[in-house]
Chain A
Amino acid sequence: MFETFPLWPARASAYAGQVDALFIFLLTLCGFMAIAIFIMIFVFATKYRRQKGVLAEQIEGSNALELTWTGVPLLIFMAIFVWGAILYFHSRTPPNDSAEIYTVAKQWMWKFQHMEGQREINELHVPVGRDVKMIMTSQDVIHSFYVPAFRIKQDVLPGRYTVAWFRATKAGRYHLFCAEYCGTAHSGMIGEVVVMEPAQYQQWLSGGPAAPLPQAGKEVFMSLGCSTCHRFDTQGRGPNLTGVFGKPVLLEDGRTLTADENYIRESILQPAAKVVSGFKPIMPTFQGLVSEEQLNALVAYIKSLSQPPAGTAGAPNNPSAAPTGPTQLQVQ
């Protein structure tokens, strides 16, 4: 609304509008309830003000009334719960072909790695109309990725990946805030999400230098010697990583899990924790030898070894790639 005195946050995605709808419904409902109670109290307090000769009427209660004002609110609450749950489910289920942007949060800045190779600090450029999935981890303490204009927020944890996604519908610059207290400069850990029209976004992309993220990851893969054991045939001392991402993996101890980002990450940092069936626990740990950004690049590279390749922000949404369920990144 007003520039210097806004009363409603900017709305930059369709989802934001859906959240606002529930909020306005609740404002109306709760406003009505509150006013009803205030009016009743006001009326009773004045109408039944103490007067000489008028005695209070001793009313013990009414089971019917009690059950009514227990049951009716409960039903209304259940409706609110369902509505809120539907919204939440949607916000935690990124579409399958979302463009992926890796995020590393650290005291006190946001670092973004685009798949095309661009790196940004505290500024995040995204195109209008594209599903964007943030794959996020923290280098130190818990932070929280909060963009009020999209009505999304997700804590960013050390030691694992968490995910948030959005589709911007309106070009503009929007606040990015850290929303989990993280020390001295918590309130300075802010930035902007810059939403651009697709044409301008392409222009911005082409201005960037670096190699695409999977390419950078391949370079790390080679330079750290991973390819020595992780060969692309069956002769390697480590599993062939082609097509591994997103598929079930059988472990030495008999468990099966799905190879997601957290699994890849854990396998690099604590390789002995989950050894693939048929292999020995001989892989050395790279804890302390590889930065979060390098880890993100490696994860992007390994994902690229599975067909089809992960979505990039420059390409349009693929409407046929429907999401199958909420993202459940495995806890290490």
Chain B
Amino acid sequence: MADSPTVVNSSEVHNPALRHHFADMEQQRESSEFGMWVFLITEIMFFGGMFAAYMIYRYLYYPSWAAGSEKMDFWYGTINTVVLICSSLTMALAVHSAQVGRRKLLVTLLIITMLFGVTFLVIKGVEYHGHWVKNEFPGAGFHVEDVDAAAAVHIELFFSLYWAMTGFHALHMLIGIGIVALITYFSWRGKYGPDYHNPVEITGLYWHFVDLIWIYLYPLLYLISHTHKA
């Protein structure tokens, strides 16, 4: 049952991974999963502020938003989306490997996940560089080519939000890669198996969440239509 007070089981054989303040592994596992979900809710609120700013300005300045979206590199964005979806697949498979105790497969899949993550960041870096050399960075030197007058008025706002939202997303990717690296190391050391694989699961939750943020960012930033008015 979800919230019922736990039953003490002092005669249970202790799993070496059981922390002393938990009564049993089930309580430990449920707590850490719940904790990760609560943390992800805080992340939703964090990104939510930027999404709110985006939606408000989009409503007010749609032509600028459409023009800004056109300046995004469609192919880099699309490839990155595919890369992240694949990384979530390998992450999910990794979690399953841990559940069934296949250590080598687990390590391999975690490494591939990290590689996908790094690929994403590299492509993002190339994209950023492209914008940077064209002075598409907010501030005194901001400049965008070939934009009609109506849209040019507020296109700098679009770019501010583009850099902020994708920047924070990239930061979360970096942190995610770091966490996966740590889990990979522990997996290689044989720490996880059918009896204990919770850290792999909750890492998977975090990874999927960061992927999901990108799934929202992609259409909002890269796919704004020119034919609609709003």
A215 within 8 A of B: no
Within 8 A of A (CB), among B148-182: 148-150, 152-154
Instruction: Give the docked Cα–Cα distance between A330 and B61 (Å).
Output: 14
Q: How far is the CB of A13 from chain B (nearest CB, A)?
A: 36
B20 within 8 A of A: no
Interchain CB contact under 8 A, A272 and B229: no
Interface size class of B (residues with CB under 8 A): 10 to 19
Within 8 A of A (CB), among B169-221: none
One of A252, A253, A272 near B152 (C-beta < 8 A): A272
Q: Is the interface of A mostly helix, strand, loop or mixed?
A: loop
Of all chain A residues, which has the CB nearest B151? A272
Of all chain A residues, which has the CB nearest B61? A273
Which residues of B sit under 8 angstroms from A273, Cβ to Cβ? 61, 150, 153-154
A270 within 8 A of B: yes
Proximity string of chain B (137-149) to chain A, C-beta cutoff 8 Å, 1 when within and 0 when not:
0000000000011
Which residues of A sit under 8 angstroms from B150, Cβ to Cβ? 252-253, 272-273, 275, 281
A254 within 8 A of B: yes
Instruction: Give the docked Cα–Cα distance between A270 and B63 (Å).
Output: 14
Within 8 A of B (CB), among A227-264: 252-254
Instruction: Give the docked Cα–Cα distance between A272 and B63 (Å).
Output: 11
Of all chain A residues, which has the CB nearest B64? A273
Q: How far is the CB of B55 from chain A (nearest CB, A)?
A: 15
Instruction: Give the docked Cα–Cα distance between A293 and B45 (Å).
Output: 42
In the complex, which of the residues A254, A270, A272 has the most CB atoms of chain B within 10 Å of its own CB atom? A272
Instruction: Give the docked Cα–Cα distance between A273 and B60 (Å).
Output: 10
Interchain CB contact under 8 A, A253 and B149: no
One of A252, A253, A254, A272 near B153 (C-beta < 8 A): A272
User: Are A253 and B148 CB-contacts (below 8 A) given A272-B153, A273-B154?
Assistant: no
Instruction: Give the docked Cα–Cα distance between A41 and B170 (Å).
Output: 58
Interchain CB contact under 8 A, A281 and B149: yes
Interchain CB contact under 8 A, A254 and B152: no
Q: How far is the CB of B220 from chain A (nearest CB, A)?
A: 21
Which residues of A sit under 8 angstroms from B149, Cβ to Cβ? 272, 281
Within 8 A of A (CB), among B46-64: 60-61, 63
Interchain CB contact under 8 A, B229 and A270: no
Instruction: Give the docked Cα–Cα distance between A254 and B154 (Å).
Output: 19
Which residues of B sit under 8 angstroms from A272, Cβ to Cβ? 148-150, 152-153
Proximity string of chain A (253-294) to chain B, C-beta cutoff 8 Å, 1 when within and 0 when not:
110000000000000001011010000010000000000000
Instruction: Give the docked Cα–Cα distance between A270 and B155 (Å).
Output: 13
Instruction: Give the docked Cα–Cα distance between A331 and B152 (Å).
Output: 18
In the complex, which of the residues A253, A273, A275 has the most CB atoms of chain B within 10 Å of its own CB atom? A273
Interchain CB contact under 8 A, A253 and B154: no
Of all chain B residues, which has the CB nearest A280? B149
Which residues of B sit under 8 angstroms from A275, Cβ to Cβ? 150
Instruction: Give the docked Cα–Cα distance between A270 and B229 (Å).
Output: 20
Instruction: Give the docked Cα–Cα distance between A254 and B149 (Å).
Output: 17
Q: How far is the CB of B59 from chain A (nearest CB, A)?
A: 11
Instruction: Give the docked Cα–Cα distance between A253 and B229 (Å).
Output: 8
Which residues of A sit under 8 angstroms from B154, Cβ to Cβ? 273
In the complex, which of the residues A253, A254, A275 has the most CB atoms of chain B within 10 Å of its own CB atom? A253
Instruction: Give the docked Cα–Cα distance between A252 and B229 (Å).
Output: 11
Q: How far is the CB of B68 from chain A (nearest CB, A)?
A: 15
Interchain CB contact under 8 A, A281 and B148: yes
Interchain CB contact under 8 A, A254 and B229: yes
Proximity string of chain A (296-332) to chain B, C-beta cutoff 8 Å, 1 when within and 0 when not:
0000000000000000000000000000000000010
Which residues of A sit under 8 angstroms from B148, Cβ to Cβ? 272, 281
Instruction: Give the docked Cα–Cα distance between A270 and B150 (Å).
Output: 9
Instruction: Give the docked Cα–Cα distance between A105 and B159 (Å).
Output: 31
Instruction: Give the docked Cα–Cα distance between A254 and B63 (Å).
Output: 13
In the complex, which of the residues B148, B152, B153, B154 has the most CB atoms of chain A within 10 Å of its own CB atom? B153
In the complex, which of the residues B61, B149, B152, B229 has the most CB atoms of chain A within 10 Å of its own CB atom? B149
Of all chain B residues, which has the CB nearest A273? B153
13 CB < 8 A contacts A-B: A253-B63, A254-B229, A272-B148, A272-B149, A272-B152, A272-B153, A273-B61, A273-B150, A273-B154, A281-B148, A281-B149, A281-B150, A331-B60
The 3 nearest A-B residue pairs measured at CB: A272-B149, A281-B149, A272-B150
A253-B63, A272-B152, A281-B150 known; 13 new pairs, CB 8 Å cut-off, are A252-B150, A253-B150, A253-B229, A254-B229, A270-B153, A272-B150, A273-B61, A273-B153, A273-B154, A275-B150, A281-B148, A281-B149, A331-B60
Chain A interface (Cβ < 8 Å from any Cβ of B)? 252-254, 270, 272-273, 275, 281, 331
